[in-house]
Amino acid sequence: MKRAISVISITLFFASCSVNHIAVKKTAEIIDNGTPEIFSDSNLKYIKASLPANLKLMEILYQTDKDPKLVKNMAMGFCGYAFAFLDDDKDNRNDFYIRGIRYSDDYINSKKLMEKKDVKGTDFDILFWNTFCKSSYLDMNRDDLAALNYLGEVETQSEKLFEINPNYFYKSLYTILGSIYASKPKMIGGDIDKAKKYFDEAVSGTGSKLLINRYIYARIYPQLADDEALFDKIVDEILNYKNDDESIAFFNEVAKEKTAKLKEMKNEIF
């Protein structure tokens, strides 16, 4: 009898675990399918107030099942939130970036994505957002030696992604590579002319629709090249842009808000 009860208990335990994993995967799929709704929402105050609760829910679900769609949205969510809303809150900003990096790093390392010749689908998404996280974290912490350790990883990962799909997410990889070549000292491969070529390509074609590309271009390159006229040109383009792609309304509204602040800092930049 005791043995029978033990077998039943074990069976129920594994059945319960299976149900929990199925529930997490289904929820992760719902979250993933709902992400475009966030991207298309230009109400930044609403997104800023509502997103943290969703991120905490994803962290809770992650403890049960490290579903790749969940990992993708955690990296995208934590780092996107830090980029959009936490410029002036260093501690929370860095905490959000590190969370996004940590969750996606664990997945990338467990699946050995950097050792694979071809990375597709959700794996590609995760590697991209991990690269975005590290690039943004590095950009906001250039005086931190620990953050500089990410420089090599950002370059290696972005080059790998670029070889597979250079036009991914409105040519964002051109922007990341432009940032790398603009930021590195010349003695270790920095090249301001090469950076400009990447930035120019990033804001052409489909890349012209994503204002984040232009914002990063305006914030990094003109200062290094001492090109005030280019700074003014890009800033005006962003602030006067009429969005014709509702699917990225959130990103473009973030870019406009950050660009308005950047314009106010012009006298400090030049």
CB burial class (10 A; 0-12, 13-18, 19+) of residue 115?
A: exposed
Name the token pair of 125: 């998404």
How far apart are alpha carbons 255 and 239 in whole angstroms? 9
Placement of tokens 């996107």 in the chain: 80
- Using 50 as the pLDDT threshold, list the residues of the chain that sit under it: 1-2, 4-5, 7-15
Placement of tokens 């959000």 in the chain: 96
- Nearest of 196, 265, 259, 185 to residue 227 by alpha carbon: 196
The reported pLDDT for the residue numbered 5 is 46
How far apart are alpha carbons 70 and 58 in whole angstroms? 7
Query: Can you give the C-alpha Rg of the chain in angstroms?
Result: 21
The reported pLDDT for the residue numbered 33 is 87
Q: Give all domains of the chain, ordered by start, each with its CATH number.
A: 1-154 (no CATH), 166-270 (1.25.40.920)
AA letter at 45: K
Neighbour count for residue 122 (Cβ, 10 Å): 16
The reported pLDDT for the residue numbered 19 is 64
pTM of the predicted structure, to 2 decimals: 0.90
CB 218, CB 182: distance < 8 Å? no
